Amino acid sequence: MGEEEETEKLMKKKITRRVFCSMLLALPFPAWAQQAGKIFRIGYLDNSTAAGSAGPLEVFRQELSKIGWIEGKNITIEYRFAEQKLERLPELAAELVRLKVDLIVVFGGTTPSAAKKATTTIPIVMMASTDPVAEGLIASLARPGGNVTGFANLSPELISKRLEVLKDAVPKLARVGLLRSGDAITADRLLKEVRPAALHLNLKLEEIVTQPDAKGLESAFKTAKQKQVGAIMTTPGRRFFAERKRIVELAVKYRLPAIYPDKEYVDEGGLMSYGVNTTDGYRLAAVYVDKILKGAKPAELPVQQAMRIEFIINLKATKQIGITLPYELLARANEVRK
C-alpha cells in the first residue's frame, strides 16, 4: 500500500469519527441526563409518626435504591411528619414548597389535599388515596390532568367485605365496634359503605370516634366493652396504622376479635387482616418518582389501583382472645400463621 493510500485512509477515519461525534451531540438527550451532577430534593409528607411509618418508608427507599436513586448521592429527602395532628399538615406542606423541592411524596387521608392546596406546580406522588377523583385531587384515574398522580386503594369497598369476614369469624356476632378518627374526608365515603352493609348483615354498628393515641385508644376500647360489642374493626388510614401495635395489644387485653385493613397489624400479633397489599403502593411511588425526575408529567401518569387483595389469619391470636375460627374461613385465607 502506497503512502498516499495510507494517508487517505487515515483522513477517512478522522472524518468518520467527527461525523459520529457530531451525531451523538445532536441526539435529544432527556433533561435529567443533562443534570447528571444534580442532587434532586424530594419532600415527604405524612400525617403519621416517623416510627409508625418506618416500614413503608424502608420499602420506598429500597425500591428507589434499586432504580438508582440513593439518599446523599443523587437525592435528598426532606421528611415532615404531622405526628397525628392533622392541623399541622398545611404548614408542613407549605414548608416543603418553600424549600423548593422537586417533588412531594404523600400518603392518603387529608395529606394529598394539604399538599395540593400548597402547590399546583410541584409534582405530587400519592402512596395511597381512598378516592382521589371524589376528593378533587385528579380529573380521572387514567388522565389525572394536574400535578398529582400515584396509587389509589379500595378502602371504601373493602371495609364492607371486612365486616362480612368478621361475621363469618364470629357467627353469633350481633354488635360490632367501629373505631374511627376525626378524618372527615375519609370517614364520609367509608361510612356510606359500611352502614348499609351492617344493616344487611343484621349487625348493630357502634361507631366510636377516637384520637389515635394511648389515652384515646384505651378509652375507645373501654367504650366498646361498655357497649357490649362482640368484635371490633378500625377504619383504614395512617393514623391508626401508626398505632397498630397498641391497638392489637388492646384487642387482646379486652379479648375482642378484630379485623384490620393492613397485614402489618397481623405482623404485630393481630387476629385477621383483609385488604390490599400496601407495599404495592410504596413501590409504585418509587417508580413514579423515578419517571417524574426523568421528565415525565404527573398529568400523563395514570393513577394505579390496588390489584392484590390479601386475607391473613393469625392462629396465635385466636388462643390469646379465646375463640375458634370456622374451618371454612381458614380455607379462604391466603395465609394462615401459626
pLDDT, tens digit (0-9, with 9 covering 90-100), for 107-120: 877 899 999 999 99
Instruction: Note the pLDDT of residue 19.
Output: 43
Phi/psi of residue 150, nearest 5 degrees: 135, -130
Pick from 43, 54, 44, 45: nearest CA to 241: 54
d(CA 111, CA 311): 27
Cα–Cα distance measured from residue 108 to residue 151, given in angstroms and rounded to the nearest whole number: 9
36-153+278-305: CATH topology is Rossmann fold (3.40.50)
Task: Give the pLDDT score at 174.
Answer: 97
Which pLDDT value is given to residue 148? 97
CA pair distance 252, 90, nearest whole angstrom: 36
B/e letters for 266-283, b = 16+ CB within 10 Å, e = fewer, are bbebbbbbbbbbbbbbbb
The x, y and z cell numbers of residue 234, run together, are: 378500625
Task: Give tens-digit pLDDT for 133-176.
Answer: 988 999 999 999 999 999 987 667 789 999 999 999 999 999 99
Q: How confident is the model at residue 33 (pLDDT cuts 50, 70, 90)?
A: very low
Kindly indicate whether the domain formed by 155-276+309-337 is annotated with CATH number 3.40.50.2300.
yes
- Tell me the pTM: 0.79
Residues in the chain: 338
Over the stretch 177-206, which tens digit does the pLDDT of each residue have?
A: 999 987 655 667 788 889 999 999 999 999
The Cα–Cα gap between 335 and 316 comes to 13
Residue 22 above 50 pLDDT? no
d(CA 185, CA 207): 16
Q: Of 65-69, 157-161, 300-304, 321-325, which range is least confident?
A: 157-161
Decide if 36-153+278-305 and 155-276+309-337 have a common fold.
yes
- pLDDT classification of 69: cutoffs 50, 70, 90: very high
Q: Confidence class of residue 29 from pLDDT cuts 50, 70 and 90?
A: very low
84 band by pLDDT with thresholds 50, 70 and 90? confident
Sketch the domain layout of the chain as residue ranges. Answer: 36-153+278-305, 155-276+309-337
Please give the span between the terminal C-alpha atoms of the chain, in angstroms, as a whole number.
83
